[in-house]
Amino acid sequence: MEQNKALIPAKRIEHSILIIRDHKVMLDADLAELYGVETRVLTQAVRRNIDRFPEDFMFQLSPEEFRILRSQSVTSSQWGGRRYPPYAFTEQGVAMLSSVLNSERAIQVNIEIIRAFVRLRRLLASHAALSRRLDELEKKYDARFRAVFDAIRQLMIPPEKGKRHLGFKTFKE
């Protein structure tokens, strides 16, 4: 399948990649949606083949991590009736899923997901390279350019997302 005729839009996959415990991961519910199966079907297949998923391939979120994830989620309905915290799959775990979910769609979706992980890795590497280059340039030039370098560094920092408070606010008098 050609890259420009992807089964799943790249942006959809990229928005599903989260950073949890310093790992880039995708959650079981997002993967199940991409594969076109129910989450329980995906997790059952994984449990039947648990030896293929060591901790560096997959881990289950702690109840606290799950609570934080739910509180940050824009739409709470997707977390609706879950009894257990979700599983998080690293890039290697996603690759292993193709051997567990043996369908043509699973294979094609896995290809697109792995490509998204590679794009993300390249983006992070280029950002690190740009930062190193900026450090080198800063050492070469005197203090007159410090303001320019500081401004560039500020532009490189991703904007912080503000917390949105839901519900009623009470005012103490």
Residue 108 has what pLDDT? 80
Summarised one tens digit per residue, pLDDT across range 44-65 is: 999 999 999 999 999 999 988 8
Give pTM, 2 decimals. Answer: 0.61
Q: How far is CA 55 from CA 83, 92, 116, 125, in A?
A: 21, 11, 22, 25
* Structure-token pair, residue 73: 């989620």
Domains, the chain, ranges and CATH? 3-124 (3.10.260)
* Structure-token pair, residue 112: 């697109």
Query: Listing from the earlier edge strand, what are the strands of the sheet with 23-27?
Result: 18-20, 23-27, 87-90, 58-60
